[in-house]
């Protein structure tokens, strides 16, 4: 009886989130199709270019992932920049917010959009694997799977950061500009101001490097730090450092977004 009650309670609790998730998948389907095609083309072209070079298998993956970060950035920005601010800007929130709690709405939308962005990443990795199989033949190295696991965490952290900006920015365009600027200039500017002995675990561009470097089978013995003229340069983070930093990003910005959304009036 108690189990049945708990089941019913959980069903009631998650139903609005699940329904929002399903509806958001439907609403964003056109964007998804467009980005899937783009993701496929980018992965195929980059893989095709790098396969002509006589590199070992892991280098092929690493090269292909250098530009992949921009696919992640663009797709995450386009899917998440409007996650909250469009409810206010387009006034769709007037219809939906009275019927569902803001938390349920946000979580449902977040999961649907996150799934789409992860699917784009998966498309990239699948194409990489297919091209690698064609080029190198079996056996394929398994490190890209670890790299993909990091990509999913990286995307999660990035989406939380974008959602945070979306919770108070007036329009999705501002959010996209801020995220791009932050990635391209912002983090490196912060890095140049802060003491070089401090590991830049706050920087998304630094954290992304683990996704690339982890493909190297000798990853655990590679030098992470080097020094030129007294300045310390950080090449890539440790597995623990990357997981911890990305998790902190997720917890802080997801909570902040929920808090702001809950307080925001329409």
Partner 1 sequence: MENVILQLNHVKKKYHSLVALNDVSFSVNKHEIIGLVGPNGAGKTTALKLIARLLTPNSGTICIKNINGTLQDIHKHSKNLLETGFLIDIPQFYNSNILHLLKYIANIRNYPKDKIDSRINHLLREFTLYKWKYKNIKTLSKGMNQKLGFIASIINEPELIILDEPQTGLDPESRIKIREYLISLQKEGKTILISSHLLNEIREICNRIAILNQGFLVGFDSIDNLERKFKIKQLVCEIEEKIAPERLETLISKIIQNITKYTEQNENEITSSRIITYNPEIPAFIINYDGLRESKSKILETLSHNFKDDFVVSTFYEPKLSQIEKLYSQTAAKDQNKSTEFK
Which residue ranges make up the site for partner 1 (CB under 8 A)? 12, 15-16, 19-20, 22-23, 26-27, 30, 90-101, 104, 265-266
Burial pattern 205-243, b for ≥16 Cβ within 10 A else e, equals ebbbbbbbbbbbeebeeeeeeeeeeeeeebebbeeebbb
Query: Given the complex with partner 1, which of 27 and 122 has the nearer CB atom?
Result: 27
Q: Which residue has the tokens 């003491």?
A: 195
The helix/strand/coil state of 199 is coil
Minimum distance between the CB of residue 170 and partner 1, rounded to whole angstroms? Answer: 16
Minimum distance between the CB of residue 14 and partner 1, rounded to whole angstroms? Answer: 11
Query: Given the complex with partner 1, which of 101 and 247 has the nearer CB atom?
Result: 101
Query: Given the complex with partner 1, which of 99 and 193 has the nearer CB atom?
Result: 99
Going from the C-alpha of 212 to that of each of 67, 69, 216, 219, 235, the distances in angstroms are 10, 10, 8, 10, 11
Query: Given the complex with partner 1, which of 137 and 263 has the nearer CB atom?
Result: 263
Instruction: State the Cα–Cα distance between residues 208 and 204, nearest whole angstrom.
Output: 6
Instruction: State the Cα–Cα distance between residues 65 and 237, nearest whole angstrom.
Output: 17
Between helices 143-166 and 68-80, what is the axis angle to 10°? Answer: 40
């Amino acid at each position: 009886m108690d189990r049945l009650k708990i089941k019913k309670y959980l069903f009631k609790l998650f139903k609005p989130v699940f329904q929002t998730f399903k509806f958001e998948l439907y609403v964003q389907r056109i964007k998804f199709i467009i980005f899937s095609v783009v993701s496929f083309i980018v992965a195929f072209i980059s893989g095709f270019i790098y396969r002509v070079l006589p590199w070992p298998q892991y280098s092929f993956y690493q090269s292909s992932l250098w530009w992949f970060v921009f696919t992640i950035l663009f797709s995450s920005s386009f899917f998440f920049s409007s996650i909250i601010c469009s409810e206010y800007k387009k006034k769709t929130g007037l219809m939906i917010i009275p019927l569902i709690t803001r938390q349920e709405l946000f979580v449902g939308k977040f999961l649907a959009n996150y799934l789409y962005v992860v699917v784009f990443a998966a498309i990239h990795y699948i194409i990489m694997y297919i091209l690698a199989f064609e080029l190198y033949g079996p056996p394929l190295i398994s490190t890209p799977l670890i790299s993909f696991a990091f990509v999913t965490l990286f995307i999660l952290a990035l989406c939380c950061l974008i959602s945070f900006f979306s919770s108070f920015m007036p329009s999705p365009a501002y959010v996209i500009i801020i995220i791009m600027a932050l990635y391209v200039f912002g983090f490196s500017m912060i890095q140049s101001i802060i003491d070089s002995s401090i590991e830049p675990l706050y920087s998304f561009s630094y954290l992304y490097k683990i996704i690339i470097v982890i493909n190297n089978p000798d990853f655990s013995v590679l030098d992470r730090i080097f020094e030129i003229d007294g300045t310390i340069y950080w090449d890539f983070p440790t597995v623990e450092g990357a997981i911890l930093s990305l998790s902190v990003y997720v917890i802080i910005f997801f909570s902040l977004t929920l808090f702001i959304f809950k307080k925001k009036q329409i």
